[in-house]
Amino acid sequence: MRSIEDDLFPSTPGKVKIERTNMLNRQFYRCFASTSTMFVWALFLIALTASYLSFQSFVDPRNRHFAASWGGLNWEKQVRTSAQIRDSRHMSVLVTGAAGFVGSHVSLALKKRGDGVVGLDNFNDYYDPSLKRARKSLLNENGIFVVEGDINDARLLSKLFDVVAFSHVMHLAAQAGVRYAMKNPASYIHSNIAGLVTLLETCKAAVPQPSLVWASSSSVYGLNEKVPFSESDQTDQPASLYAATKKSGEEITHTYNHIYGLSITGLRFFTVYGPWGRPDMAYFSFTRNILQGKPITVYRGKNRADLARDFTYIDDIVKGCLGSLDTSGKSTGNTSPVTVPTLVSILERHLKVKAKKNFVDMPGNGDVPFTHANISLARSELGYKPSTDLQTGLKKFVKWPLRVVRHKHRLSLVLDISDHGGTTVASPAAMDLAMTQNRSTHMTTTSPRFKTLKQFQHDQIDHNKNSEASSRSWRGPRQSPASGGRP
């Protein structure tokens, strides 16, 4: 008869089968034109396409391993309610891997002290999902909503950040387990690398950018012989694919901090154990087998030396996670120089218009090749902490007319700049809204009063070309006398 443990915790984790095509070993032979040869080539092309699609299945968020359901007003309400903070001193945290071992404990601890928590988990079957479902129920009972979805789903992540301006992300979703990588290497790339990058891209684009704390692993120390392991030790000799993906995660997060100023803290967990733990881990499976009178397999190292781990109890890990969230710096954005072509590409993305670029040698007119501010003195003397990165700042810039209109006119969504002969300048976002508005106010989108920034700039260029005398530069919206008059 099967026990409850058997039902809940299978002894053989991992059921995802992957199919691989070894393209490198494929032999090519000279073929002659004949119907049969063409048939063979057609088959080959189909196989090639199938291989490509199969590869995409673990890097392309659209080809998920499961069908997630999310969205809708009720769903948004649940997300918002779950993210509510007790008071302004608390944080709103997106916890990925919330139905996992560490994720569920951290979520409960955050909620208990008054933080807002929204969970995200893909409920994969690396080990029996019924344990994850049981953890989810526990979280639900404590007011935590767990969204069912994958960190590779960029649309879902972006939606979550649209609904809630998370101040922090606790990233614990991962393909865990050291030895399982021999069976299913693709799952490690899918979650620990592709999923991580998708999450970082979302955090980078979010306004405001959240601070991120994530789980790396003691396994990055790999074959390191210097003990005890410490942060400054070399970590370039991973002993498993799992370790290699966690080490890659450390390098990837470094670049997102360096380029985009995202605040990121990586924690190297050492073999975490405790209640609600993972059935694939040794302490768990040993316990089950001992209780059932079954034998256990204890591995040994070279010369029959005992293996050893610095086991860490879950409550200590939870304290470490909360402490890291509490002390994490704010994402600072523009602490690194951004190249001018990058500036242009950000503008292109926000304006949804491709720039016509002419690259020419820098003229000798006093321009300098680069600037990069060391703000440490300003930080210590003045408490200066720039918090707007270029992505965010430019996004605000291109939306500027829309914001001013909201403030001044409330009902109108378009800014009228009468300095420019009554021309209305609208950002693309404002244009969309203006078009929506037109439907109800019976105005047509062909009205000369509506122009996008791009159209306005083109007109300005033509205007300047045609009449030097009347050339005027755009001075922005009128200032109220109280704010100092026109610039």
Ligand X SMILES: O=C(O)[C@H]1O[C@H](OP(=O)(O)OP(=O)(O)OC[C@H]2O[C@@H](n3ccc(=O)[nH]c3=O)[C@H](O)[C@@H]2O)[C@H](O)[C@@H](O)[C@H]1O
Contact footprint for ligand X (CB under 6 A): 176-178, 217-219, 269-271, 281-283, 297-299, 307, 309
Nearer to ligand X, 289 or 457 (CB): 289
Shortest separation between residue 173's beta carbon and ligand X, angstroms: 13
Tell me whether residue 242 is one of the annotated catalytic residues.
yes
DSSP 163-194: H---SEEEE------SGGGGT-HHHHIIIIII
Q: What is the DSSP string of 181-242?
A: GGT-HHHHIIIIIIIHHHHHHHHHHSSSPPEEEEEEEGGGGTT--SSS--TTS-----SSHH
Give the list of residues 6+ apart from residue 241 with CB closer than 8 angstroms, or none.
Answer: 181, 185, 188
Least spacing, CB of residue 195 vs ligand X, in Å? 16
Q: Which helix (H) or strand (E) holds 424?
A: strand 424-426
Considering 126, 127, 242, 260, which one is annotated as catalytic?
Answer: 242
Closer to ligand X by Cβ: residue 55 or 270: 270
Place of tokens 């302490």: 283
DSSP for 356-407, please give it: -----PPPSSS--S------HHHHHHH-------HHHHHHHHHTHHHHHHHH
d(CA 227, CA 270): 14
Smallest gap from Cβ 180 to ligand X, in A, equals 9
Give the nearest distance from C-beta 321 to ligand X in angstroms: 14
Which of the 8 DSSP states describes residue 131? H
Q: Are 43 and 165 in contact (CB under 8 A)?
A: no
Q: Measured from the CB of residue 366, what is the shortest distance to ligand X in angstroms? A: 54
Neighbours of 30 (CB within 10 A): 4
Compare residues 58 and 284 and give the one whose CB is closer to ligand X. 284
Kindly state the smallest distance separating residue 3's Cβ from ligand X, in Å: 19
- Smallest distance, Å, CB 460 to ligand X? 59
Nearer to ligand X, 55 or 273 (CB): 273
The strand pair at 168-171 and 211-217 is best described as parallel
d(CA 188, CA 241): 8
| Residue closer to ligand X, measured from CB, 320 or 476 | 320
Nearest distance, CB of residue 281 and ligand X, angstroms: 4
Q: In what order do the strands lie in the sheet with 211-217?
A: 145-148, 116-121, 92-96, 168-171, 211-217, 264-269
Closer to ligand X by CB, 295 or 484: give it.
295
Residue closer to ligand X, measured from CB, 228 or 484: 228
What the block records as the tokens of 348 is 């292109």
Which residue, 61 or 277, has its beta carbon nearer to ligand X? 277
Distant-in-sequence contacts of 4-10, Cβ < 8 A, 24+ apart: 5/288, 5/291, 5/292, 7/128, 7/130, 8/128, 8/130, 8/131, 8/134, 8/279, 9/127, 9/128, 9/131, 9/279, 9/284, 9/285, 9/288, 10/127, 10/128, 10/279
CA 362, CA 355: separation in Å to the nearest integer? 19
Query: Are the C-beta atoms of 144 and 108 separated by less than 8 Å?
Result: yes
Evaluate the omega torsion of the peptide bond into residue 208 and state whether it is cis, within 30 degrees of 0. yes
Active-site residues: which are they? 242
